[in-house]
Amino acid sequence: VVLQVTEVSADSCTANLSMTIPATHLEEANALLEADPAKKIMLSAQGYALPSSTKVDAVFKVSPATLDVLASETLQTAALGQLRASVEMMYSMITQSRANQVTGSENTTPWSATYQQTNASKCAEKWIAQSGQDTVSACACRAKQLSAQVNERQMAYIDYVRSNPYAMATGSSQSFATLEKQALLACGLIAK
């Protein structure tokens, strides 16, 4: 995504935000909505619309004193607010879709040491080993089980979606949840 802000008029403190979106992202989002007509209708009724081209613009006003965008310009009824909401919705849909693409196939790219450590820390915050087992070892087992099927990039999508309560409420990441339950059971981990 490329953003460019230019001055339209200094007298009226008006600027233009020009955004270029990768064509592949726009195509992916359109395909997701075409595959789910009910979602398309619901989002449209709420005022959301995918950009119609890869280059979109929104003219907006800024405060002369601070050069901050005026609050009225961020509302979804204003051009800038509508652009923000539509692009945000587009990338939220794409992220949720990508988080759901856990197919159970073998992952051939090992997780980085940094990600393994982060994953183990998050595991130890949420899970505890069953009696007589070491939590560190059990979390390492969980990471090994998951990394055998899910690559690190896919995990980044899953981690992001799981941090968003709305996305979780929509049922996103169900296939990963099944995979994780299997790993937790195999590694002897239970919720704290």
Q: Is residue 74 domain-shared with residue 125, that is, in the same domain?
A: no
Q: Is residue 122 domain-shared with residue 186, that is, in the same domain?
A: yes
For residue 95, what pLDDT is reported?
Answer: 84
For residue 71, what pLDDT is reported?
Answer: 93
**Domain membership of residue 137 as a residue range:** 113-191
Q: Is residue 175 domain-shared with residue 137, that is, in the same domain?
A: yes
For residue 173, what pLDDT is reported?
Answer: 74
For residue 169, what pLDDT is reported?
Answer: 64
Number of domain units in the chain: 2
- Dihedral class, residue 135 (left if φ above 0, else alpha if ψ from -120 to 50, else beta): alpha
Q: Is residue 82 domain-shared with residue 166, that is, in the same domain?
A: no
Which residues lie closer than 8 Å to 158 by C-beta, 6 or more apart? Answer: 99, 102, 150, 173, 176
For residue 84, what pLDDT is reported?
Answer: 92
For residue 1, CA distances in Å to 19, 25, 94, 113, 147 come to: 7, 10, 14, 29, 29
For residue 167, what pLDDT is reported?
Answer: 66
End-to-end CA distance of the chain: 41
Q: Is residue 84 domain-shared with residue 153, that is, in the same domain?
A: no
- Averaged confidence pLDDT in the chain: 89
Query: Are 69 and 47 in contact, with CB atoms under 8 Å apart?
Result: no
DSSP 103: -
- Given 47, 77, 99, which residue is the final one in a domain? 99
27 belongs to a structural domain: yes
Read off the pTM: 0.69
The parts of the chain modelled with pLDDT lower than 50 are: none
Per cent of the chain over pLDDT 90 is 57
Q: Is residue 48 domain-shared with residue 131, that is, in the same domain?
A: no
Q: Name the strand (E) or helix (H) holding 169.
A: helix 165-169
For residue 139, CA distances in Å to 117, 127, 157 come to: 10, 8, 20
Q: Is residue 141 domain-shared with residue 81, that is, in the same domain?
A: no
Q: Is residue 138 domain-shared with residue 65, that is, in the same domain?
A: no
The contacts found for 181-187 with CB under 8 angstroms, 24 or more apart, are 182/145, 183/141, 183/142, 183/145, 183/146, 184/127, 184/142, 186/141, 186/145, 187/138, 187/139, 187/141, 187/142, 187/145
Rg (CA), the chain: 22
